[in-house]
Structure 1
Amino acid sequence: MTNAAVEGAVDRWRSLPAAQQPEWPDENRLREVTARLAAAPPLVFAEECDRLRERLGAVARGEAFLLHGGDCAETFDGVSAAAIEAKLRTLLQMAVVLTYAAAVPVVKIGRMAGQFAKPRSSPTETRDGLTLPVYRGDAVNDVAFTPAGRRPDPGRLLRTYDASANTLNLVRALTQGGYADLHQVHAWNRGFVGSSPAGRRYEALADEIERSLLFMRACGADPAGLRATEFFAGHEGLLLDYESALVRTDPRTGRRYATSGHLLWIGERTRALDGAHVEFFAGIHNPVAVKIGPDTEPDEILAYARRLDPRGEPGRLSFVVRMGADRVRDRLPALVEKATADGVRAAWVCDPMHGNTFTAPDGRKTRRFDDILDEVCGFFEVHRALGTHPGGIHVELTGSDVTECVGGGSELGLHDLPLRYETACDPRLNHGQSLDLAFRTAELLRTSRGSAG
């Protein structure tokens, strides 16, 4: 296929219905912005995307586990060194625990450096009789409920690019510069175990990890190999004008990549098989994912596989399951069975957040830790019963001590929500709740590994 033909395939989405796109008020300004983005350097590179495809191929084959986590919606004000370090630290701590429990590599993807846009259930919001466009993330408009703030501004796409570049630069420096040192990360976890109200539950696993590290050191294992780690970035590929402007052709292969992130996913609200998002994703070579909810039918799974992964290459396609704790055990088995019988070679990942959201009496959206954990448990139970691989978890989290989800080791209650409710959109697990979930998932991984053996 010629380069012109490949570029045409990537741009065919423009002729199809595109859900959840902003109503940009100034088309000339949008064209000016996307032209600048089209001339900008890529945020990620084809070689990195190909490496992630290889790593996710191992997940699809049952040889690795995926940890994907970060903010519900990044904000420009939240792009600070302290906030990025805290999220990265949380994910590294979680990954160490999961790696030891699973006895396989853990692929680490941050829900960061691009998660600046959000789909919404309604295009408008009304307060005290005033109706304005809904907040769609900092890439589109402002959270402030004013006519000027809520007006979609294409110039924010340039700020999204800059914020993503700054985040990626810091993450690359930290993960390759000693911040990810395995001994240091374990020391952080020991601190968590010692201070957490639920820490005694995790002491035995922490002791095992410590003995393993001491053993490696005693054997003279090269410490240089423990000081750096692979880390990738992924976000929902929602704003197609932005994503399309950052598509680049790899001169080595002629393949087209969305260079805004290593992995992009299609959301539950934009996964129409005849829609623009599926068409766009079919034309890029990145690893891609589809979020699927409880209403997904088995034949749809096959249709996504045919459309997005026609060659059946492990690592190209993941299904991120967001069913809710009360439905995952009933709805997931038929999807996995159908896909397995048809030879679909996708990775299966659990998103235990989005199906478990409810509104507290004070009007804030929240989630119960026990519901989140129960959906993860149900996800593992389904795969154990079918003899398939529970490939990973996809979690909204932050490295800060926010009070947005209730429960967990610190037993936050609904009355605690106003203390530090800081999310721009949906509630996130805080640092302690994230580590609670990692240790509990590690217990499930050990059980799963034991039953597989």
Structure 2
Amino acid sequence: MTTALGALPAAQQPEWPDRSAAEQAVTELRAMPPLVFAGECDLLRERLAAVSRGEAFLLQGGDCAETFDGVSADNVRNKLKTLLQMAVVLTYAASMPVVKVARLAGQYAKPRSKSTETRDGVTLPAFRGDIVNGFEFTEASRVPDPHRMLRAYHASAATLNLTRAFVGGGFADLHQVHSWNTDFVRTSPAGQRYERLAGRIDQALRFMRAIDIDAETLRKVELYSSHEALLLEYETALTRVDSRTGSPYDVSGHFVWVGERTRQLDGAHLEFASRIRNPIGVKVGPTTSPDDLMALAEKLDPDREPGRLTFVSRMGAAKIREALPPLVQKATASGLVASWVCDPMHGNTYEAASGHKTRKFDDVMDEVRGFFEVHHGLGTHPGGLHVELTGDDVTECVGGGDPIAEDGLGSRYETVCDPRLNRTQSLELAFLVAELLEPAS
């Protein structure tokens, strides 16, 4: 597969200064055990098929860019906690299963709009994620180092081990997760608006206890990993042929997606994605035409397999109501079976006066509303959310019910790439989306 891909143009790839070191790293990766298993990918494809039929909702969230330093029990736990809290609210409101997919254990590579970065007259290679080079603005740190691919593998393995330990150890128990939401509603200025919905969820849980719903059932949760399939040497090195079926799977994560900067029809990224059996996502922005969309579908899902393909729209609040309908209409008219998911983050980024990249919570929520309006107007299913978030109390996006002002962004601005919703903003987003999901809305 690598040889065939090598003949195609591949955007956003690093230029390793030592090719022999890169080849050595790739050789070591090929010998590593899988991070996930093909059967798990197949199960996720079944779950996403339900999303495409309007029988489930996808919640996908996590860091914009993971860091090696961020692999700790506290960081992983806080992200999982926030994602699970959001999922409980959405499950109750939608009255359908919520498929939980985390942006973790692999989100170490980042595309960049420019190959270099200049500060105070000094120009260095752009930071492309911990899997490629360092964030520190020094010449030594910014040199692409292929051995970082091995560090990314081990960091991903450690993150998955922590995730499985938390999920399997009762951390995801439904009663406990709801108690966290109850605390949020009681103590947060943003949460007080949602007391009614939280009370109804509490009543439902009391009912389940009263009729003796199996406690073990309430402790179980399926959680899948995902990342952008950007660094092709890493992804191809972790592609394995499944012994059951003889088909190739990218065992670096359950779900991988191709971004807007790398989805060229004649490029190596789409070619790679077309050959693996994982469920696949592809980002579509405001410049995507209906013909572009169908060409992507033909490349990635020629057999029209339910659960195989997810379109992640990232239009921007000002454009979604105009740009999304022609795409959904074309897909519907052609009989295409795909899930539609809203990324309300990437189309709403701007630079504050302080120089920080940020997003307005109101813009994020407006894009989500527009996404729902479009699908409701066309009689199609708004299939889910794809959100950059953290479980920490960072100050990276402005606004929200417990508002962050632009002049406060520097207080805890910790992202190494794009701004994330903090815990309070993430939970507020979940409660607001719950209002859109409720049948009476």
TM-score bracket, normalised by the shorter chain, equals: over 0.9
Post-superposition Cα deviations, 1:318-339, rounded to whole Å, max 9, x if no partner, equal: 0000000000000000000001
> How large is the Cα RMSD of the aligned pairs?
0.8
Q: Please tell me the residue identity of whatever aligns with 2:212.
A: G
Q: CA deviation at 1:450?
A: 3.8
Match of 1:3? none
Match of 2:308? 316
Q: CA deviation at 1:177?
A: 1.4
Alignment partners' CA distance in 2, 1:200 and 1:29: 55
The partner residue of 2:423 within 424, 427, 431 is: 431
Post-superposition Cα deviations, 1:172-231, rounded to whole Å, max 9, x if no partner, equal: 111121000000000000000001112221011000000000001001111110012000
Alignment partners' CA distance in 1, 2:405 and 2:391: 19
Match of 1:48? 40
Give the TM-score normalised by structure 1. Answer: 0.96
In the alignment, does 2:71 pair up with 1:79?
Answer: yes
Alignment partners' CA distance in 2, 1:168 and 1:12: 31
Match of 1:334? 326
Match of 1:178? 170
The partner residue of 1:293 within 282, 285, 294 is: 285
8 Å Cα contact 1:368-1:405 kept in structure 2:
yes
In the alignment, does 2:149 pair up with 1:166?
Answer: no
Match of 2:381? 389
Match of 1:63? 55
Q: Please tell me the residue identity of whatever aligns with 2:319.
A: R
Q: What SS does the aligned partner of 1:269 have? A: helix
Q: What SS does the aligned partner of 1:265 have? A: strand
8 Å Cα contact 2:89-2:434 kept in structure 1:
yes
8 Å Cα contact 1:12-1:279 kept in structure 2:
no
Alignment partners' CA distance in 2, 1:141 and 1:405: 26
Alignment partners' CA distance in 1, 2:90 and 2:192: 18
Q: CA deviation at 1:11?
A: 4.7
8 Å Cα contact 2:354-2:407 kept in structure 1:
no
Q: CA deviation at 1:305?
A: 0.9
Match of 2:349? 357
Query: Number of paired residues?
Result: 441
Post-superposition Cα deviations, 1:224-253, rounded to whole Å, max 9, x if no partner, equal: 100120000000000000000000010010
Alignment partners' CA distance in 2, 1:392 and 1:450: 18
Alignment partners' CA distance in 2, 1:142 and 1:415: 28
Alignment partners' CA distance in 1, 2:56 and 2:211: 26
Post-superposition Cα deviations, 1:57-79, rounded to whole Å, max 9, x if no partner, equal: 00011000000000000000011
The partner residue of 2:107 within 108, 115, 122 is: 115
Give the TM-score normalised by structure 2. Answer: 0.99
Match of 1:226? 218
Match of 1:189? 181
Q: Please tell me the residue identity of whatever aligns with 2:296.
A: Y
Q: What SS does the aligned partner of 1:20 have? A: coil
Gaps of 5+ in 2: none
Q: CA deviation at 1:13?
A: 1.7
Q: What SS does the aligned partner of 1:418 have? A: helix
Alignment partners' CA distance in 1, 2:146 and 2:184: 43
Q: Percent identity?
A: 64
Alignment partners' CA distance in 2, 1:25 and 1:341: 49
Alignment partners' CA distance in 2, 1:127 and 1:421: 19
Q: Please tell me the residue identity of whatever aligns with 2:389.
A: L
Match of 1:208? 200
Match of 1:144? 136
Q: Please tell me the residue identity of whatever aligns with 1:142.
A: G
Q: What SS does the aligned partner of 1:234 have? A: strand
The partner residue of 1:284 within 276, 281, 293 is: 276
The residue correspondences of 1:79-98 to structure 2 (distance < 5 A) are 79-98=71-90
The partner residue of 1:413 within 400, 405, 414 is: 405
Match of 1:238? 230
